[in-house]
């Protein structure tokens, strides 16, 4: 390897209404697959909590912070948000993180 690679990490934590867990999982899974093809996207993972039913976390890795910020305004992101909002038990928590130690297998 030759030096450090800049990676921007965008996270989203979503909690489904108890009766809508499967619906939210489907919305987020579609979003993840489509986001992987977006310019500047290095990878996206969808995780579910092993300790809290209905909680999902999306972890996105982007080439630059600008790529991550630009993605927030895309039609893909706004469509996911519109589909997810009626399924949520609470407001999602979205955060753009500066990396201290992040590894990307590219």
Distance from C-alpha of 105 to C-alpha of 103, rounded to nearest angstrom: 7
| Stretch (H or E) spanning 25 | helix 21-35
Domains observed in the chain: 8-97 (3.30.70.100)
pTM of the model: 0.88
At 5, the pLDDT band (50, 70, 90 cuts) reads: low
Give the model confidence (pLDDT) of 20-44 as tens digits: 999 999 999 999 999 999 999 999 9
């Amino acid at each position: 390897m030759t030096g450090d690679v800049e990676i921007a990490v965008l996270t989203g934590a979503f909690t489904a209404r108890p009766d809508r867990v499967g619906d939210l999982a489907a919305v987020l899974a579609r979003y993840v697959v489509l986001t992987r093809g977006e310019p500047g996207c290095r990878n996206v993972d969808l995780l579910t909590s092993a300790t809290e039913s209905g909680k999902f976390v999306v972890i996105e890795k982007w080439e630059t912070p600008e790529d991550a910020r630009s993605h927030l305004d895309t039609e893909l992101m706004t469509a996911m948000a519109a589909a997810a909002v009626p399924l949520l038990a609470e407001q999602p928590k979205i955060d753009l993180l500066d990396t201290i130690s992040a590894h990307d297998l590219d």
